[in-house]
Amino acid sequence: MAIKDQIPLGFSLPHRSPDPIAVSDINHVAQRAEALGFRDLWVTDNTLDPASCFDSLTLLTHAAALTHTIHVGVSVLVLPVHNPIHTAHRVATLDYLSNGRAILGVGLGRDHHFTEFQMPRTRRVRRFRESVELMKALWTEQAITYKGERFELENAVMGRKPVQQPHPPIWLGGGHPDALKRAAVLGDGWMGAGGSSTAAFSEQAPQVRAALEATGRAPATFPISKRVFMSVHERADVARAEVHRWFTEVYHNPELTATGGVHGTPEQVREQLEEIVSLGADHLLLNPVTRYREQLEALAEITGLS
């Protein structure tokens, strides 16, 4: 059975690279991925980054204007360093302009995020939880009165509601056991990080499903995804070198080439993707690290979309 007949597939927009990214490549990937039948387009959110990275929600709005049906998502915004009121408004705007295609991925973040944005690290989980609660309220209620430890609103109104009901889906990231439990309680999906290993995903996916069952939620309606940084080439050594450069220059962790990357010939890549599906993924985000147009066509063929 073709991979596309087993699970839905997402594709990464060109958006973060140690090399310049042509706007024409972004435009082509957005429109061609939709034509091929990929379900969604994704970006990461990296502001202070030696690799060139576009602002996530701005780029998704651009991609939405070029397409008609494909969903557009970010995974992940480090929510505690963003104001949830601004974020709710930006995502509602994206959802409205795209006619109901926005997906918001959020995460707790790492220590350096709080240092860079001069945000207190203390009580960051509380801030995260309140941010999610507040965004949902702003999207679904007419007049919001909210009193939390970090945020307060009195009879506030956000007139621009999203198209999706009750609200755009919120996917959570993070691999800590507590983060996996939070995803099951607060989120509408979970995505394993591209910078995490396949072995880690094999342990995390069952934990998410167990947490869903513990909270009485149906795992079948909750996507469990994995972002995979990857390269396919007729010469396996070329594909490996491209992924190795990515993990070395962007992630500064070359060991992930072997433990977390997907690379090789078309047949080798197909086998690696099928392995991740067998470990519990019911959605894959394919994230080529270079040669975006060529990789899009190759991966469409590998997965059965073309």
DSSP at 246: H
The DSSP secondary structure of 176-197, one letter per residue, reads SHHHHHHHHHH-SEEEE-TTS-
Q: What would the pLDDT profile of 162-200 be if each residue is shown by its tens digit?
A: 999 999 999 999 999 999 999 999 999 999 999 999 999
Q: Helix (H, G, I), strand (E, B), or coil: what is residue 97?
A: helix
- What is the Cα–Cα distance from 132 to 170, expressed in whole angstroms? 9
89, exposed or middle or buried, with CB in 10 Å at 0-12, 13-18, 19+? Answer: middle
- What is the Cα–Cα distance from 227 to 16, expressed in whole angstroms? 14
Task: Kindly tell me the sign of the dihedral angle through the C-alpha atoms of 262, 272, 209, 177.
Answer: negative
Amino acid residing at 41: L
Q: pTM above 0.95? A: yes
In the predicted model, is pLDDT for residue 281 greater than 90? yes
Which tokens hold the place of 48? 């202070």
Q: What would the pLDDT profile of 250-260 be if each residue is shown by its tens digit?
A: 999 999 999 99
Q: What is the pLDDT of residue 148?
A: 95
Q: What is the pLDDT of residue 56?
A: 98
Q: What is the pLDDT of residue 121?
A: 87
Q: What would the pLDDT profile of 12-61 be if each residue is shown by its tens digit?
A: 999 999 999 999 999 999 999 999 999 999 999 999 999 989 999 999 99
Q: What is the pLDDT of residue 112?
A: 86
Place of tokens 């087993």: 6
Helix 84-97 with 124-140: angle, nearest 10 deg: 40
Q: What would the pLDDT profile of 94-142 be if each residue is shown by its tens digit?
A: 999 999 999 999 999 988 888 998 988 899 999 999 999 999 999 999 9
Are the beta carbons of 111 and 98 closer than 8 angstroms? no
Q: Which residues contact 283 (CB under 8 A, 6 or more apart)?
A: 7, 8, 9, 10, 39, 189, 191, 223, 224, 225, 226
- What is the Cα–Cα distance from 188 to 169, expressed in whole angstroms? 6
Q: If you average pLDDT over every residue of the chain, what do you get?
A: 97
Q: What would the pLDDT profile of 226-274 be if each residue is shown by its tens digit?
A: 999 999 999 999 999 999 999 999 999 999 999 999 999 999 999 999 9
Provide the percentage of residues in the chain whose pLDDT is more than 70: 100
- What is the Cα–Cα distance from 236 to 263, expressed in whole angstroms? 7
Place of tokens 């999906």: 189
Set out the domains of the chain in order of their start, with CATH numbers: 3-303 (3.20.20.30)
User: CB count, 10 Å around CB of 238?
Assistant: 15
What percentage of the chain's residues is helix, strand, coil (to nearest 5)?
45, 20, 35
